[in-house]
């Protein structure tokens, strides 16, 4: 069975860069954002269930308006929890299928999952890596990347775990406050350690 690594962290911390480094070093990467898009395709069972709760976010063929939904749930923790309770049930089954499939071809499988802990997907992982950065840096990155206003971004931040949570619940933490080269260096060091530990366990 493959070693499953969970990659998570704060919005705007740089998970995409770190995920790419893992992929470049031979890890099979499962993008959980894409898995969420799969289960919320137009007309899906998940959308049918969500449309009963958030009807204003769907059109007649059950196509989800993701930005409208985001603006609602990131401003209301209770609504976010309601959304997650539905969507995570569908994602959980899909992730099990993807992990089994990727394990055929890859010795190491990475779950790139912004909501790893919220979804309970951390229980599928042997190792957890988190990416964090200072709030002002993350705010600057997201407003530039997504074109969102500062209030919307801060609402998103408020709905997520803080840096301390990730430090306490991760095997490795990448601090990405500086240049991308530094984040790449930290990631490669972690990859080397993961592979060394796997070899060490084989030799026991």
Annotated binding site for ATP: 12-17
CB 160 within 8 A of CB 29: no
Q: In what order do the strands lie in the sheet with 28-31?
A: 28-31, 108-112, 3-9, 127-132, 172-175
Closest CA to 84 of 93, 97, 73: 73
DSSP assignment string, 160-199: S--HHHHHHH-SEEEE-SS-HHHHHHHHHHHHHHHHHHHH
Tokens of 143: 């407003």
């Amino acid at each position: 069975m493959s070693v499953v690594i969970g990659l998570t962290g704060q919005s705007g911390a740089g998970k995409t860069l770190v995920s790419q480094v893992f992929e470049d070093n031979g890890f099979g990467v499962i993008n959980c954002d894409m898995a969420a898009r799969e289960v919320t395709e137009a007309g899906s069972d998940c959308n049918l269930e969500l449309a009963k709760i958030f009807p204003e976010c769907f059109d007649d063929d059950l196509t989800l308006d993701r930005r409208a939904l985001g603006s609602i749930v990131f401003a209301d923790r209770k609504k976010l929890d309601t959304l997650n309770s539905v969507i995570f049930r569908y994602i959980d089954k899909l992730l099990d299928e993807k992990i089994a499939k990727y394990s055929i071809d890859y010795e190491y499988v990475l779950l790139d999952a912004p909501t790893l802990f919220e979804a309970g997907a951390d229980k599928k992982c042997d190792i957890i890596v988190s990416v964090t950065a200072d709030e002002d840096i993350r705010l600057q990155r997201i407003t530039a990347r997504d074109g969102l206003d500062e209030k919307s971004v801060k609402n998103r931040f408020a709905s997520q775990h803080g840096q301390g949570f990730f430090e306490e619940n991760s095997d490795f933490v990448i601090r990405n406050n500086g240049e991308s080269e530094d984040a790449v260096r930290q990631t490669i060091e972690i990859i080397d350690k993961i592979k060394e530990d796997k070899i060490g366990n084989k030799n026991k």
